[in-house]
Amino acid sequence: MGSFTDFLEDELLDHVFGNAAYSAPGTQYVGLSTTTIADDGTNDTEPAGGSYARVSATNNDTNWSAASGGAKANGAAFAFPQASGSWGVIIDFAIYDAATAGNMLAFGTLTTSKTVLTGDTPQFAIGDLDITLD
């Protein structure tokens, strides 16, 4: 299960309590990390090389199902490019507002870490990315 980063928590608090409006990005990008991501969005180590790239997802109700019970999940499968080299052991996932760099919005730990080898095509099946707000 994933949660919001400190960045997004601050943006939403300011938005809800009248300090500043927050506009959700029209496209979000799902990434992978070989390290455990911290709550402030640091310590993310995305794979380098091997055809790795974040997966883009239009921010709509097709790709993200309606929230229920303080949780939201992906409503579409997200497939990464086929690895042309090893990506290492993937521990966490993250959702960003840009294809590279940008702000991390949410993150989470995989239920089971996954070693991505040459020829693998990692993906998140529908409902596998769970983001909670409590």
Residue 111 corresponds to which amino acid? T
**For residue 121, is pLDDT > 90?**
yes
How many structural domains is the chain composed of?
1
Residue 5 structure tokens: 């980063």
Q: Would you say 94 and 107 are in contact if contact means Cβ atoms under 8 Å apart? A: yes
Q: Which residues contact 69 (CB under 8 A, 6 or more apart)?
A: none
Range of the domain at 60: 2-132
Reported confidence tier of residue 134, pLDDT bands at 50, 70, 90: low
Residue 104 structure tokens: 């991390």
**For residue 64, is pLDDT > 80?**
yes
Q: What is the mean pLDDT of residues 9-34?
A: 95
The reported pLDDT for the residue numbered 43 is 96
The reported pLDDT for the residue numbered 2 is 84
Q: What is the reported pTM?
A: 0.94
